[in-house]
Amino acid sequence: MINSITRWKRRFRTHVVTRVQLVENLRCRNLTSGYDFHGEFDRIYFYHIRKCGGTSVNHMFLGLSGEDAGNVYRRLSAASRTISGGKVFVAHGKRLLQQGHYYYGFSHRPAHQLNLPDRTFTFTCLRDPVKRLVSHYRMILEYKKLGKRGGNLDREATWFGDDFGEFLTNVPKEHRLNQLYMFSENYDVEEAYHNITRCSCWFLLEHFAEGITRLSSGLGIGLQPAHVRKTILGIDINDEDLERAKEMLEPEIRLYEKLKAANRRPERPARVRHRGNACC
């Protein structure tokens, strides 16, 4: 008798959750049918590479809802989707991102693990590889000192060791070469460069304000540059570890140098049309 009641409660809860999800899916589909960016794009997706200014970018877009961006961001941390100001936002949920019913979506998921719908405006921001990795190390150290836990932090704390040298040894390859791996499963520099430059827009963190201006122009929306979550902890890294980091980041440094050279070309367009259902 008890087992029967338990099964009935479980089926009832599943039925209610399914009904709620169906209603929310329908609402999101109706809302997103009205999104239109210059007649070419139906949604925006950001390939968020960690420690490349992505949190600032996300807050700029979430703030377009008219609500405090921090509140929207916190809801997305608890669930993969939220609605604010008539705009649907999706973070990290692969199924929802591939469905395409959102105004703005983002995740750390590599491009080769996603199949985004056509008419998606895609963009990314990249950074000097050594500076990015040092920033990642500094972030983990700061969170460790503050006693923060949960999510990726527990896993990343195991990479830490006693200093930056041990971090270099422990950090997995896909996180050490995260910019390269984001756009090439095989860590191929030419493939990654091709996929990055096929995105609707891309820019370097060292030209952040200029990149946001181009992004705003390409989408026809009013983004204002902002900086969120800057790590303030100072650290000392010896020259030997820095040289070792350069050696271990060599293919990603080559990729970054190619992107810097392309970024200097005056003919590079601020915006390109979305090309089919490519990874970017």
Residue 7, burial from CB neighbour count under 10 angstroms (0-12, 13-18, 19+): exposed
Domain around 247: 34-264
Any domain includes 124: yes
Query: Is residue 266's pLDDT more than 60?
Result: no
The CA–CA distances, whole Å, from 149 to 10, 153, 155 equal 32, 6, 10
pLDDT in the model for residue 159:
79
DSSP secondary structure code for residue 37 in this structure: B
User: What is the band of 269 on the pLDDT scale with cuts at 50, 70, 90?
Assistant: very low
109-125 mean pLDDT: 97
DSSP SS3 for 257: helix
**Number of neighbouring beta carbons within 10 Å of residue 183:** 29
Query: Is residue 12's pLDDT more than 50?
Result: no
pLDDT one-digit tens code per residue, 171-218: 999 999 999 999 999 999 999 999 999 999 999 999 999 999 999 988
Query: Is residue 5's pLDDT more than 80?
Result: no
pLDDT in the model for residue 142:
80
Query: Is residue 33's pLDDT more than 80?
Result: yes
pLDDT in the model for residue 148:
64
Query: Is the Cβ–Cβ distance between 117 and 98 less than 8 Å?
Result: yes
Winning range, highest mean pLDDT, from 153-162, 229-238, 255-264: 255-264
pLDDT in the model for residue 143:
73
Total structural domains within the chain: 1
DSSP secondary structure string for all residues of 232-248: -------HHHHHHHHHH
Any domain includes 40: yes
Any domain includes 21: no
- The letter for the amino acid at 236 is D
Any domain includes 161: yes
Any domain includes 145: yes
pLDDT one-digit tens code per residue, 55-111: 999 999 999 999 999 999 999 999 999 999 999 999 999 999 999 999 999 999 999
CATH number for the domain spanning 136: value is: 3.40.50.300
249-271 mean pLDDT: 81
User: What is the band of 16 on the pLDDT scale with cuts at 50, 70, 90?
Assistant: very low
Any domain includes 206: yes
The answer to which of 5-14, 82-91, 238-247 has the lowest mean pLDDT is 5-14
Query: Is the Cβ–Cβ distance between 116 and 168 less than 8 Å?
Result: no
Query: Is residue 234's pLDDT more than 80?
Result: no
Query: Is residue 2's pLDDT more than 80?
Result: no
CA neighbor of 37 nearest in space, from 9, 74, 64, 18: 64
Would you mind telling me the total number of residues written for the chain in this entry? 280
pLDDT one-digit tens code per residue, 127-159: 999 999 999 988 888 877 766 655 666 677 677
Measured in whole angstroms, the distance separating CA 202 from the mean position of its chain's CA atoms is: 13
pLDDT in the model for residue 235:
77
Any domain includes 195: yes
Any domain includes 12: no
Query: Is the Cβ–Cβ distance between 200 and 218 less than 8 Å?
Result: yes
